[in-house]
Amino acid sequence: MNLKNYYWYFDSELSDKICDDIIEYVKSTKEKERAKIGSGTYAKEKYQDLKRQRNSEVCWIDEPWLYEILNPYIHTANINANWNFNWEWNEVAQFTHYKKGQFYNWHQDDWGGEKYVSKDEHPNSNLATEHKGYVGRVRKLSSIIQLTDPKKYSGGELEFFFPSGRPDKKLATRICKEFKPRGSIVIFPSFLLHRIKKVTRGERNSVVCWSLGQPWQ
């Protein structure tokens, strides 16, 4: 897919109060768990391999008020960036906490375009789910909310990897500097390769959400 806009951002869009409320909600109601990749289970010895790819803590937020905040930005980005994906559903949002030394290496959110499948029919699949709204759908758009004041941490940059448009067709990376201010939101196609660089000082919090739709629409 040839993109004119690789990502769309909203600079410092959410207030400090909204960011604080999200963090306090997580602190008061949720227990963080070790981040993994996909919905499958991991044997204890496999976590060491996982930590070379991803090292952070997460918990899940399935609250209508969060989607009410985020969905208008997803719709606006989808139109303004001229992606025009047909999406129907949001996955449960993920609160992600990075401590010093933690990171998420290069990855794509769309599982290579693979669809979610029913856990009853495919119990051993890494994309098996009990959520009926996910089955048969793929991740179309990824959204990230920046919750932390950039003065409180170093490193932890969101970096994209995409064609540079140069005649030699070499690939280029770009730090998403627009995402740095607190309350900023960045939205991008879920197939776009990206990473969170290692946090070198302090701690970084964010919310990630994925919008789902039928393949090829």
Class of the CATH-defined domain 8-36+54-213: mainly beta
**Which residue in the block uniquely carries the two structure tokens 């029919």?**
121
Answer yes or no: are the C-beta atoms of 135 and 129 closer than 8 Å: yes
CA distance 161 to 41: 29
**pLDDT classification of 42: cutoffs 50, 70, 90:** very low
pLDDT digits (tens, 9 = 90+) for 64-83: 999 999 999 999 999 999 99
Quote the pTM value. 0.88
Residue 12 has pLDDT above 90, yes or no: yes
Task: Tell me what pLDDT residue 184 has.
Answer: 98
Q: Of 131, 147, 124, 120, whose CA–CA distance to 212 is shortest?
A: 131
